Every structure is written in structure tokens, then in C-alpha cells.
């Protein structure tokens, strides 16, 4: 860039510069834009919509940015103590208190220990958070204050989005406030009581994602359940990594008849689901009349694959008019031969925690009219395993 061009760039209107910042990550703004000229240095220092994501960052870069952060200018913050960023949260808390971030709207925490979490939860009770996400496999069972601190945080009138992916946390001890403002909830929930408590105490809830619900043998439970009233505010429901049978699944869905979106991720037996498909269609038509989006991802693993797999036979029940024309819910069936894994899933929908093994020896079938050419729609895949040796051999082998 010439001196003249550089000078013109530095004279851009502040509003335009702020608009450009919306498309740049915080590290680029602080490390690169800030040093262009004195004017940009000043503009960056007063810019108050920073999104600092430290979920995956080199340690030296993290320390450098911590020296330049102005807490009052941060809108969104992500901290992580994952294997890639050990000790990050401890270092951050040695430099800052979360209550200093007076403009903070969104806070995301990964693999945080209970002591650090207690400190942060007490601090954010003084903020106007709209979104809080805690994802951790740490053991919080011995910390009796976590539930109390969480109860105080979810009482914040500004809080609309909450993720509590904490397997060790006993959510039955959480006190949900009357008139709770949470609209989107993603939570690790084990029991029917916990699930129903959420449904009936969160009047503004629109989207619910439930993980870990274990109700796989309910033959003697459902007839004895109280006659629960339907909840009509829920728009979208997801069950992921749960253990459910068909009877319990239908019972849970009957409580939310106004659903428009439903997602089912590795929460029911694949073969049971297929065998029950005609009844499932009737249930949707009569009990979920507003449902317009239904996505699922089901897997059958190696030890269960005893007889040869016929992917065409498995996918045939999904070729009816109800699936392909009325609802236009298209389905893909993949059989990965090397790992002996069968996957049945909605097109353009994939389990983000599932490691897809890219394998040339794969059989794929789809109910969509477009041909998938033995490939998977990769847009939703977040974990991918490649055997580069096999791929190189295949690529260099003479074609017959």
C-alpha cells in the first residue's frame, strides 16, 4: 500500500471503521489495526464491542492480548481450560475480575474448575448478561455453593440464553425463579422430574436442548404418571445423547404439542426407530401438527452388526409420500465398511460430537432425488478422521 493509500485508509469515517470491525476477530483488531496509525490506535481503544474468544489460542498471544484488554470495551468473552489451553482461566483471573467487564453480554466457560467457577458466578451477578454458557466435565459434586450461585445467576432479568453442560451438577438443587426470563436452555438433565420441573417453571422458554436423560425402560412408569398438562410455549426441542424408548419419547413430546422443530441425536435405538416408523408418522400428524422440521442422527455400532447390512432396505421406509413430499424430510443411510458402523440421519444434519471416518469403502443411500455419489454432506461435520496413507495409495493406484 502506498503512502497516499495508507493516508486515505486512515481517514475513513469512524462509523465505517466500526462496521469493518464487525467482520474481524478481536486479535486482528488489537494486534494489527491498532498499530496502523495514531488515529486507529485511539479508535480501537474506545471501540466497545470486542468479542474475545480464547477457546483456542497460543499461550504467548493470550498473554499479549491480556496486556491490552480494556474490560469496559468487551461485549463477549470465551475462556477455556481445555487440554489445548491449560491454566488459561487461572491466569485470566489473576489479571482481571469478571465484574470489571461492565458491558459484558455473553460469557462462555469451558472446563473450568469449581473454585474458579464460584468466583465468576458471584461476579456476574452484578452484570447484565444475556447469555451464559458453562461446558465442563469437572467434578463439582463436592462444592455445595455451585447450585446456590447458579440459582442467583439465573435470576438475572437480562439472562435469555443459558447452557449448563455440567454432568456432575445436580440440577434438582437449582431454584428456578418465578417468571424466569430464560428463552433458550441447553442443559444436562438426567431424570423425568428434572425435565418436567424445567418445562413447568420456565414460562418464557422457547428452545430446549436436553442431554443425558436416561429413561430406557418405562413400561411400568408411564401408566402411573400424573396427568400432566401440555406446555404450549416451546418452539424447538432437542434430545441428545439420551437413552429413551419409544413410549417415553412419545410421552415427552405429547407435553409439547406446539413444537415446530424437533432434533433427535443418538437418543433412541436405530432399529426400534425404523420398526416404529408407521406409528411415528401417525403420532406426528395427530400430536405434533405444527412440526415442520424434524432432524435425527442415529448410529448402530460394530458389535451390533452381525448380519450383512442392506442400506437400501433400511432407507426404504423413508421413501413414502409423507417423508419425501408432504414434509420433505430427506434421509441418508451410510455404512462405513472398515469400521462396521451404520449411520442413519437427516440430510444436512450431523452430530457435532460424532467422528466421521472418511472411507472410500462406504455405501450410501439417500431418499433425496439428487445423487449423493457415495459422499456425505460435510457442512455439519466437525470431527473428521482421514487415513492419508490409504488415500495416497488409492489416488496413485492405476484405475482399471
Q: DSSP state, 290?
A: T
Stretch 315-327: mean pLDDT: 94
Q: Which of 270, 311, 296 is nearest to 351 (CA)?
A: 296
Confidence at residue 397, expressed as pLDDT on a 0 to 100 scale: 60
Q: Where are the beta strands (DSSP E) in 116-235?
A: 131-135, 161-165, 184-188, 207-211, 214-215
With cut-offs at 50, 70 and 90, classify the pLDDT of residue 221. low
pLDDT in tens, 244-300: 999 999 999 999 999 999 999 999 999 999 999 999 999 999 999 999 999 999 998
Contacts 24+ apart (CB under 8 A), 329-334: 329/294, 330/366, 330/367, 330/368, 331/366, 331/367, 332/364, 332/365, 332/366, 332/367, 332/368, 332/372, 332/376, 332/377, 333/364, 333/365, 333/366, 334/362, 334/363, 334/364, 334/376
Portion of the chain with pLDDT greater than 70, in percent: 84
For residue 386, pLDDT beyond 70? no
Beta strands 331-336 and 341-346: pairing type? antiparallel
Confidence at residue 373, expressed as pLDDT on a 0 to 100 scale: 43
Higher per-residue pLDDT: 182 or 383? 182
Stretch 12-26: mean pLDDT: 91
Q: Which of 228, 167, 218, 242 is nearest to 198 (CA)?
A: 228
For residue 304, pLDDT beyond 90? no
Stretch 360-373: mean pLDDT: 66
Window from 49-58, 212-221, 384-393 with minimum mean pLDDT: 384-393
Confidence at residue 224, expressed as pLDDT on a 0 to 100 scale: 60
For residue 81, pLDDT beyond 50? yes
With cut-offs at 50, 70 and 90, classify the pLDDT of residue 137. confident
Q: What kind and span of H or E run contains 80?
A: strand 74-80
Distance CA 127, CA 153 (A): 10
Q: Which of 304, 308, 312 is nearest to 334 (CA)?
A: 312
Higher per-residue pLDDT: 114 or 162? 162
With cut-offs at 50, 70 and 90, classify the pLDDT of residue 146. confident
Confidence at residue 170, expressed as pLDDT on a 0 to 100 scale: 86
Confidence at residue 10, expressed as pLDDT on a 0 to 100 scale: 77
Most confident stretch, 35-39, 158-162, 163-167, 304-308: 158-162
For residue 360, pLDDT beyond 70? no
Portion of the chain with pLDDT greater than 90, in percent: 60
Stretch 149-154: mean pLDDT: 94
Q: Which of 38, 102, 91 is nearest to 65 (CA)?
A: 91
Decide: residue 229, CB within 10 A, 0-12 exposed, 13-18 middle, 19+ buried.
Answer: exposed
SS3 (DSSP) at 215: strand
Domain ranges of the chain: 1-47, 305-400
pLDDT in tens, 333-355: 988 877 788 899 998 888 888 87
With cut-offs at 50, 70 and 90, classify the pLDDT of residue 215. confident
Amino acid at each position: 500500500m502506498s503512502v497516499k493509500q495508507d493516508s486515505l485508509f486512515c481517514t475513513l469515517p469512524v462509523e465505517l471503521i466500526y462496521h469493518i470491525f464487525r467482520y474481524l476477530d478481536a486479535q486482528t483488531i488489537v494486534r494489527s489495526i491498532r498499530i496502523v496509525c495514531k488515529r486507529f490506535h485511539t479508535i480501537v481503544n474506545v471501540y466497545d464491542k470486542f468479542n474475545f474468544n480464547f477457546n483456542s489460542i497460543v499461550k504467548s498471544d493470550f498473554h499479549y492480548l491480556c496486556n491490552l484488554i480494556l474490560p469496559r470495551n468487551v461485549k463477549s468473552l470465551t475462556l477455556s481450560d481445555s487440554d489445548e489451553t491449560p491454566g488459561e482461566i487461572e491466569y485470566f483471573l489473576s489479571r482481571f475480575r469478571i465484574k470489571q467487564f461492565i458491558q459484558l453480554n455473553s460469557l462462555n466457560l469451558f472446563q473450568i474448575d469449581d473454585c474458579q467457577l464460584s468466583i465468576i458466578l458471584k461476579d456476574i451477578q452484578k452484570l447484565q448478561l444475556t447469555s451464559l454458557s458453562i461446558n465442563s466435565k469437572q467434578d463439582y459434586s463436592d462444592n455445595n455453593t455451585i447450585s446456590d450461585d447458579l440459582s442467583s445467576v439465573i435470576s438475572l432479568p437480562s439472562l435469555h440464553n443459558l447452557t449448563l453442560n455440567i454432568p456432575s451438577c445436580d440440577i434438582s438443587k437449582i431454584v428456578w425463579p418465578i417468571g424466569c426470563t430464560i428463552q433458550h436452555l441447553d442443559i444436562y438433565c438426567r431424570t423425568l422430574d428434572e425435565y418436567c420441573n424445567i418445562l413447568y417453571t420456565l414460562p418464557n422458554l422457547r428452545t430446549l436442548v436436553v442431554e443425558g436423560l436416561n429413561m430406557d425402560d418405562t413400561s411400568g412408569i408411564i401408566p402411573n404418571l400424573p396427568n400432566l398438562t401440555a406446555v404450549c410455549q416451546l418452539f424447538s426441542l432437542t434430545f441428545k445423547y439420551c437413552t429413551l424408548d419409544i413410549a417415553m419419547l412419545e410421552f415427552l413430546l405429547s407435553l409439547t404439542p406446539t413444537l415446530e422443530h424437533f432434533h433427535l441425536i443418538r437418543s433412541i435405538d436405530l432399529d426400534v426407530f425404523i420398526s416404529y416408523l408407521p406409528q411415528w408418522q401417525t403420532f406426528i400428524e395427530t400430536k405434533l401438527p405444527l412440526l415442520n422440521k424434524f432432524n435425527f442422527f442415529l448410529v448402530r455400532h460394530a458389535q451390533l452388526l452381525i448380519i450383512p447390512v442392506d442400506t437400501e432396505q433400511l432407507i426404504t421406509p423413508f421413501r413414502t409420500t409423507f417423508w419425501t413430499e408432504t414434509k420433505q424430510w430427506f434421509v441418508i443411510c451410510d455404512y462405513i465398511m472398515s469400521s462396521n458402523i451404520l449411520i442413519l440421519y437427516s440430510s444436512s444434519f450431523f452430530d457435532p460430537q460424532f467422528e466421521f471416518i472418511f472411507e472410500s469403502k462406504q455405501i450410501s443411500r439417500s431418499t433425496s432425488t439428487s445423487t449423493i455419489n457415495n459422499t456425505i454432506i460435510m457442512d455439519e461435520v466437525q470431527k473428521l478422521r482421514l487415513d492419508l496413507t490409504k488415500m495416497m495409495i488409492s489416488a496413485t493406484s492405476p484405475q482399471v
